[in-house]
Chain A
Amino acid sequence: MDYTPAAVVPLGTLAEKNDIGKPWRYEEDGLTVTRTSPWSPPGCHPVGCGLKLYVNDEGRLVRVEGDENHPVTQGRLCPRCLALKDYVYNPSRVLHPLRRDPKDRGKSDRWERISWDEAFELIKSEYERIVGTWGAESIVAFCGTGREGGTMSLYPTMVFGTPNMCYTQSGYACYTPRLAAVVYMTGCTYPEWDNAGALPGRWDDERYQLTEVLILWGKQPLYSNPDGFFGHSLIDAMRRGTRIISIDPRVNWLATRADLHLPLRAGTDTALGMAMLNIIIEEDLYDHDFVDYWCYGFDQLRERVAEMPPEKAAEICGLPAEKIYAAARMYATAKPAAIMWGLAVDQKTDGMQNGHVIIDLQAITGNLDRPGGQLLPGAGAGHNELGFGYAESIGDELMQKMIGLKEYPAYCNMILNAHADLMLEALETGEPYPLKMGFYMGNNLMSCTSQEPKRWHDAIVKSLEFCIGVDCFITPSIEASCDVFLPLATVAEREGTVYTHYAPCTVTAGFMHKAITVGEAYYSDMELAYELGKRLHPERFSQWANSHELVEHFRLGVQEHGEYFDKVSQCVVAQIPIDYYKYEKGLLRPDGQLGFATPTGRVELWASAFHTFGDDPLPYYLEPEFGPVNSPELMEKYPFILTTGARTPAFFHSEHRQIAYLRELHPDPIVEINPAVAKRLGITDGQWVRIYNMVGECVQKAQVSPIVDEHTIHAEHAWWFPEEDGSEPNLYGTFRSNINNLLPNGHFGKLGFGAPNKCLICNIEPATENYDTDMQNIWDTFGELVER
């Protein structure tokens, strides 16, 4: 890979005096400026924007700016990085290792400061005791989302040697159901909308074709901006003429700018997709050449979707049939056209099937790997951290002990994770074997990523004898369950790499450069893995003289004692050379052959892999288990469809609540209810309400708005209140406004994927309490930054 500085296309609003062409580090007005491309922390699913970090002669970060040298972000920056200084020097950030007696778990005043050596020694002795007694499989490494360490398999494999890395969201209902569809149908990892990000001429590059129509399916890329993609590229495209179709139960802002908005009943997407396929096939709007030469199972698909006439889907989805026809025709007649799929696709029991129909649509319209369509990752792309260390550190025998591997091989083998729901049961019951040690890799599962979070809390606290938390702040999960806390370096304090979207479908490769050191938060995730690994398993880590060599080897696949890293990292951001129509050129498959890396070499509309796993090889719609059709009696008590988790630009999931400027953008957890519903229930705008169903309850603040219809309620996720008492049972209020209290475990699909997190039911009533955030208190608590 040739890492050269990306081509620069300045924005029209850029002043004549700017920093285009500056080196990775330079001096300006007595400050040292370091150009970098951040991953985390603070959390972000790697986008790798361009940052300039200004540091004074005392080594203090005094200013953060967007780097106009970045080919995609071009100097633009989201509020979370703009407030980076307030994260780095936040008074509640912890900058040295801590320990706490396990009997004092949940007591926020019992942490004691220890040295790194003491922390490493304690971990080593507990690790050896637990592995000696219970085996390495008794360790669970809790995966997070987004953070560099959050999914870094180096921790569970090479450092701890456990097969049990576990993302605790039921059915891994985040990314993985979609991934299953695309992996098993095309042999690729992620069909991203081509935003010309990898082309030197960007939108005007001669190889590019502007996308005519873009479908946003359960996705609002502007606010889910950190999901591996610079969301505001969409605005760039719209200003050039791209038209939008929005599929979302909510009238999100982009839906008001769309040519068509399909506000379907939450959870019915697969029926809609099947009907669109039906229309495109019946009206002969599909790409015959692509179907004939590159697809497998078209006739079976045609037969299957014939079972879903648009009028039937219209009834299921609560949409006018004409809108379904209009959307299908608009998408199929546009060239190029693309679909961006969001988390909503995953968060239903038939999430994988929803992914299936979307791949079908992309394939039969001939938009796969077309300029301005869906960019496919080439054979060389990859999730270079997934799979790392399994063979040499775990081996087959131990691998077989991964929780859920036998029951759900399509899930566990693909994402190399223990099955979430089965892990919860194992923690609760000690079966098939006891789990004794935990490691939070960049995860706050009690606030964010778990359903029935109190159940997870109880299971973890009861089962795990020793728990390690790695973070910048003491989160509710760490406060409740950890015995050792290790402070993590932020993006301003670390070196490393960042590939858009982890690496599948890479547009840019970026390099993090260390600009400052703060307290004793010396280590990035990779450096911490190296330090821990060297002590727990020196035999595995002795091949690298230092962590710098490890980073180079792990991230760049080169071993030149770090010199290669030092050299190429000076480019800060590189565009990854891409090619289109790779299936015609032998560039999609590891074996270099033409076609797709599937059993038939084609896009499998009839998916052999699903058939092998015992599932239906064709897409099928599953009516939500909770809803008007399947649980009418429950709906008498809980008459609203509950959908959750829409993003806000102020926060990355459960992060950033302690950053005063960001909290001020969004002080309280918001639940959206329709004006007619509010009137009927006596709820006023801004009033706190109790949301409840058969699983649990929480309180949030009502925003009365026609953004949702009269049947639907939308509630935000991942709220906790770092300004509050951290001790049990309050735990920074993490269970008070936590919408996940209402979300059950155990409602995944046949292969183990999916969860109904965006299509449940609930009721709502006015509350008498007022929990409004006092912003003056937030400013007094977190506004005064700390001298380090």
Chain B
Amino acid sequence: MTAYGLLIDYEYCTNCGSCEVTCKEEHDYPVGKWGIRVLGDGPWAIDEDNWNWNWYPLPTDLCDLCAERTAKGREPACVHHCLANIISYGPVEELAKQLAEKPKQLLIVPQFMPRVAKGPFVPQERDDGHRAAHIEVKGTGKAAFGAHRHDSRVGEIDETDLDL
């Protein structure tokens, strides 16, 4: 199966919020839930003339890559509306080629509701066929403090030593 993803040219993400809002409108996600989120690092000074300040639009666990839209041949809502036009959608193989063409890009393959995507627990048939058999055994006759101990304090339990 072809994997699809988002290629994000974060050099030019301006934190305008369009991806966040259009995603909420598209999916009716309420306040507090997001399908994509812009996270930031900066500004902090590298030196006198250079600053690090990058915004990263990152799909969340509620990103379904706009399955309804893409099924109709449209691009995801964030791709369509991004003001800086920095988000591309497509097969990972094609996006990877574009990734190689320019620095400061991210290629991301999100997963919608990953815990749900794993599916419910289904027991696997892994019985090796071994069955318990009737075998006669003898007891040790005494309980001991601990097991697999080899120090000098190990010893059998003498009930008279215990203040029960």
Chain A residues within CB distance 8 Å of chain B:
11-18, 63-66, 68, 74-79, 82-83, 85, 222-223, 225, 231-232, 235-236, 238-239, 251, 253, 255-257, 649-650, 660-662, 664-665, 705-707, 775-776, 778-779, 783
Cα–Cα distance between A614 and B89 once the two chains are bound (Å): 61
Q: Which residues of B contact A223 (CB under 8 A)?
A: 14, 16
Q: Which residues of A contact B44 (CB under 8 A)?
A: 706
**B14 near A661 (CB under 8 angstroms)?**
no
Beyond A15-B89, A232-B83, 9 additional pairs, beta carbon < 8 A:
A13-B85, A15-B73, A17-B73, A68-B80, A78-B18, A82-B22, A223-B16, A235-B86, A256-B52
The 3 tightest CB contacts between A and B, nearest first, are A17-B73, A779-B31, A79-B21
Q: Which of B12, B15, B21, B52 is the one whose CB lies under 8 Å from A82?
A: B21
Contact with A along B109-146 (1 / 0, CB 8 A): 00000000000000000000000000000000000000
User: Which chain B residues (31-68) contact chain A, with CB distance < 8 Å?
Assistant: 31-32, 42-45, 51-53, 55
Q: Which residues of B contact A257 (CB under 8 A)?
A: 11
In the complex, 24 of the A-B residue pairs with CB atoms within 8 angstroms, ordered by the A residue number, are A13-B75, A13-B80, A13-B82, A14-B75, A15-B75, A17-B73, A18-B74, A63-B25, A65-B80, A75-B81, A76-B18, A76-B85, A77-B83, A78-B83, A238-B12, A253-B43, A661-B20, A661-B25, A664-B32, A665-B17, A665-B20, A775-B32, A778-B31, A779-B31
**B32 near A77 (CB under 8 angstroms)?**
no
Q: Which of B51, B55, B80 is the one whose CB lies under 8 Å from A251?
A: B51
Cα–Cα distance between A697 and B144 once the two chains are bound (Å): 78
Q: Which of B18, B51, B87 is the one whose CB lies under 8 Å from A256?
A: B51
User: Closest A-chain residue to B48, C-beta based?
Assistant: A320
CB distance from A466 to the nearest CB of B (A): 40
Q: Which residues of A contact B73 (CB under 8 A)?
A: 15-17
**B31 near A664 (CB under 8 angstroms)?**
yes
CB distance from B23 to the nearest CB of A (A): 9
Interface residues on B, range: 35 or more
**A82 near B25 (CB under 8 angstroms)?**
yes
Chain B residues within CB distance 8 Å of chain A:
11-12, 14-18, 20-22, 24-25, 30-32, 42-45, 51-53, 55, 72-75, 79-89
Q: Which of A13, A236, A238, A776 is the one whose CB lies under 8 Å from B79?
A: A13
Given contacts A235-B12, A236-B85, contact A79 B18 (CB under 8 A): yes
Cα–Cα distance between A365 and B54 once the two chains are bound (Å): 34
Q: Which residues of A contact B80 (CB under 8 A)?
A: 13-14, 65-66, 68, 75-76
Given contacts A76-B81, A706-B45, contact A662 B30 (CB under 8 A): no
User: Closest A-chain residue to B88, C-beta based?
Assistant: A13
Most buried by B among A13, A222, A776: A13
**A779 near B21 (CB under 8 angstroms)?**
no
**B17 near A649 (CB under 8 angstroms)?**
yes
**A253 near B81 (CB under 8 angstroms)?**
no
Cα–Cα distance between A661 and B27 once the two chains are bound (Å): 13
CB distance from B24 to the nearest CB of A (A): 5
Most buried by B among A78, A79, A236, A238: A79
CB distance from A675 to the nearest CB of B (A): 10
